[in-house]
Amino acid sequence: MVKISNLDKSLSEHPFFEDMDAEIQKIIAGCARNERYEADAIIHHEGDKADRFYLVRGGVVSIELHVPGHEPVVMDSVHEGEVFGWSWIIPPYRNTYDARAVKLTRLVSLDAKCLRKKMKKNHELGYELLKRFIPVMAHRLSASRLQILDVFGSPKQKS
């Protein structure tokens, strides 16, 4: 396990935690750990317990949908400075997609159970995290809508 002071630094340098109060950051760091995935390694599968969420420190993570009888479809790629895995905050806390490292990827993962427990007691912490997660979710929703529109498809491809 990496020392908390290193994790503190990783968190404070990550854009998701920009301008966050140092005390709150320290509380979050208590639930954090560094993780490393080789290219093609699965980080989590759809349906798994959403017991962690992730900050990308380096590398690329692909967000994939399992389509029965077909190859997985890549829906999004998450890069350095971005986050993924918000199912930890939404009951019944199950991942809704597969996450795979495209290349060697370094993440900071946060223990969801630990965070949920702390958020229940410390509403300021809960507010800080939700304030940062909701814009990410809104942005992804908006991007998904644009993807669904299939704006580059020709009328022939769409028919």
Return residues touching another protein (CB under 8 A).
62-64, 71-77, 79, 81, 100, 102-103, 142-143, 146-147, 149-157
CB of 15 to another protein, least distance (A): 9
CB of 71 to another protein, least distance (A): 5
Q: How far apart are alpha carbons 118 and 116 in whole angstroms?
A: 5
Single-letter amino acid code for the residue at 49: K
Q: Is the CB of 35 or the CB of 76 nearer to another protein?
A: 76
> Can you give the three-state secondary structure of the chain, one letter per residue?
CCCHHHHHHHHHHCHHHCCCCHHHHHHHHCCEEEEEECCCCEEECCCCECCEEEEEEECEEEEEECCCCCCCEEEEEEECCCEECCHHHCCCCECCCEEEECCCEEEEEEEHHHHHHHHHHCHHHHHHHHHHHHHHHHHHHHHHHHHHHCCCCCHHHHC
CB of 14 to another protein, least distance (A): 14
Q: Is the CB of 4 or the CB of 65 nearer to another protein?
A: 65
CB of 73 to another protein, least distance (A): 6
Q: Is the CB of 7 or the CB of 63 nearer to another protein?
A: 63
Q: Is the CB of 76 or the CB of 111 nearer to another protein?
A: 76
Q: Is the CB of 2 or the CB of 104 nearer to another protein?
A: 104
CB of 42 to another protein, least distance (A): 11
